[in-house]
Amino acid sequence: MTDAADAAAPDPASMRQQYRTEGLAETDLADTPVEQFARWFKQAATEAHLFEPNAMVVSTADAEGRPSSRTVLLKQFDERGFVFYTNYDSRKARDLAQNPYVCLLFPWHPMGRQVIVTGLARRTGRDETAAYFRTRPHGSQLGAWASAQSSVIDTRDQVDTAYAELAARYPEGAQVPVPPNWGGFRVAPETIEFWQGRENRLHDRLRYVTEADGSWRVERLSP
């Protein structure tokens, strides 16, 4: 029998961390939010050595406004936007077909930082999708075929059996075709917020907002 003390969960209300990092001033920022993101992303990956610094929470909403979130890996970013790949029959893809507005959150907690992106998601072209698909490990290519993402299944065996059949059909070294219902989304940012934790919960929050002419303005948000 499990001991009652062992079974008790920690009290989240008592969990507190004091952020003692340096602040973020307007004069610290790059000219564009993508340049600023590149700076922080490099620090997260090469200085802080965070586990999967390209992991981001993708939040979508369906046509009725009901939200859902999941963690997805960023695979490319530039001035055009932030790119991730998925099954186009997945819940997030179905949401985006009805409501293309999306929010991306990079939770770099060990650094006391977050980056929050809001914008419009559009599908990448098939040539771009195919080029990325060819860079994926062989097993991941097979997995894109084996999983009908977000669909209800009876057992895990269904997925494992489908994968085994695909592995027999396309052994290591064979070219795996790109699934027709799989591809990328590029999120063109409308706002990008850089959140830096500070002491006493008085965090620094600087947000780039796109203007009609394509330029960016920076605004400071109260913590």
Could you tell me if 146 and 162 are in contact, meaning their C-beta atoms sit under 8 angstroms apart?
A: yes
pLDDT at position 3 over 70:
no
The catalytic residues are 201
pLDDT computed for residue 101 by the predictor: 98
Q: What is the DSSP letter of 137?
A: -
pLDDT for position 13: 76
Q: How far apart are CA 200 and CA 20, in angstroms?
A: 9
pLDDT value at 40 more than 90: yes
Structure tokens at 3: 């001991």
Which of the residue ranges 3-7, 17-21, 185-189 has the most confident prediction, judged by mean pLDDT?
Answer: 185-189
* More confident position, 179 or 149: 179
Q: What tens digit of pLDDT does each residue of 99-140 get?
A: 999 999 999 999 999 999 999 999 999 999 999 999 999 999
Tokens of residue 79, six digits: 């001035």
Upper half-sphere CA count for residue 190 (Cβ side, 13 Å): 9
Band (14; pLDDT cuts 50, 70, 90): confident
14 token code pair: 């008592």
For residues 177 and 160, give the distance between their C-alpha atoms in angstroms, rounded to a whole number: 19
Find, among 116, 111, 122, the residue nearest to 208 by Cα. Answer: 116
Whether residue 26 contacts residue 191, with contact meaning beta carbons closer than 8 Å, is answered with: no
- Residue 152 has what pLDDT? 81
What global pTM score does this model have? 0.89
Judged against a pLDDT cut of 90, whether residue 210 lies above it is answered with yes
Which DSSP category does 8 fall into?
P
4 confidence band (pLDDT: 50, 70, 90):
low
Residue 131's H or E segment, with its range, is helix 126-133
Identify the CA nearest to 103 among candidates 84, 122, 116: 116
Provide the mean pLDDT of the chain: 93
Share of the chain above pLDDT 90, in %: 78
| Helix, strand, coil fractions of the chain, as percent rounded to 5 | 30, 30, 35
Alpha helix locations (H) across the chain?
A: 4-7, 33-42, 91-98, 126-133, 138-146, 156-169
Query: And the tokens for 16?
Result: 């507190």
User: How many residues comprise the chain?
Assistant: 223
pLDDT, one tens digit per residue, over 68-103 is 999 999 999 999 999 999 999 999 999 999 999 999
